[in-house]
Amino acid sequence: EAGVAQSPRYKIIEKRQSVAFWCNPISGHATLYWYQQILGQGPKLLIQFQNNGVVDDSQLPKDRFSAERLKGVDSTLKIQPAKLEDSAVYLCASSFSLLTDTQYFGPGTRLTVL
């Protein structure tokens, strides 16, 4: 069974530029999550979707971050404009159905903002 796919794996941009990350969850998984992991810290939830609806985006900086999950499968996370403090690894995870189901993570996208 294929795992969670993410692209790109690495991205370097200048501050004030925009960037987008893509995630394809495990087949059949209804719930999808985006996390931000700053170096030396545990992952922090940004947004969670159940099918194509947002369940929680309370920790998403909405002035610059946006996310969508069209058709309830793939998802994209966008940052516009990027700031230096956005440098982090962005992890996508999916789970089968319930918000308490085990989450399985993708390889992440390492973003460097110069």
Partner 1 sequence: AQKVTQAQTEISVVEKEDVTLDCVYETRDTTYYLFWYKQPPSGELVFLIRRNSFDEQNEISGRYSWNFQKSTSSFNFTITASQVVDSAVYFCALIEDSSYKLIFGSGTRLLVRP
Q: How far is the CB of 78 from partner 1 (least distance, A)?
A: 21
* Residue 8, C-beta contacts closer than 8 angstroms, at least 6 positions apart: 21, 109
Angle (CA) 3-91-111 rounded to 5° is: 125
Provide the token pair at 23.
Answer: 């995630």
Q: Does an H or E element contain 22, and which?
A: strand 19-24
89 binds partner 1 (CB under 8 A): yes
Each residue 1-40 as x (binds partner 1 by CB under 8 A) or -, in order, gives --------------------------------x------x
Contacts with partner 1 by CB under 8 A lie at 33, 40-45, 48, 55-56, 89, 91, 93, 99-100, 102-108, 110
